[in-house]
Structure 1
Amino acid sequence: MQVKIDTKEKFHAITILDPTITANMTADLQNSLGPYLQNDVKNLVLNLKSVEKMDLEAAETLVKIQQSFYENNASFVICEIQPTLESFLDDQQLLEIMSATPTESEAWDIVQMEEIERELLDDEEPIF
């Protein structure tokens, strides 16, 4: 799987360059994206602008990876989903559970807002 990685202050922007993500690439997805949870900067923006097709297994894996990021207090936002892929994900009822935006800039905004939200929640004192 070919990717382009752009590291920012609060997140990593990863663009998948392959036009198709097949079921046999799910291990590559997990191996490529999972380790970011161990970094100091563990938020991800996944840009799918080059991806035209995706197997159901790969789409389900993306949802699981995204959920694991949120479970670990990290953001994972998918952006620039092509119309045919968006339609496929919607038909599979996966799009509605994904954190997805039309543009990479909007994805950055979501990551930064979620980061601020986590910082504010961490600063709150428990009330007993």
Structure 2
Amino acid sequence: MAERRYEGFVPGRHQIDAYGNGGFRFADMSHKGSVLALPSGVKAWEATSGQGLAPADFLAVRAEADDIELLIVGTGVELVPLSEAVRWHLRELRIAVEVMPTGAAARTYNVLVAEGRKVAAALVAVA
């Protein structure tokens, strides 16, 4: 089957099939840029770096907070700590957060989705 491109949102839970070259593959589709993998589906995410992420970057996570117990944040090639403002924002939503490089985040997300956990991922694209 030929790989398809998508225009910003694919409904449903999907594992990340591949990452790199500035994007991701999932559900027989490809996307250039960062993504949010949420309980409702995978959507484009404007973040281009793990540096400088703010609570406003996680509004889509807030909208689905009741269905998320753990948010895995992939910050790119390197681990970039989240700001206290972001950590407090997620804590107020009662969402635990784990931060790691994007590759490890995608792999961890896939395992937890396969286990049926209430997990989401915010993944910064890597080259």
- Which of the two has greater helix per residue? 1
TM-score (norm: length of structure 1): 0.40
Structure number with greater CO (CA < 8 Å, separation at least 6) is 2
Structure with larger Rg? 1
**TM-score in terms of structure 2 length:** 0.41
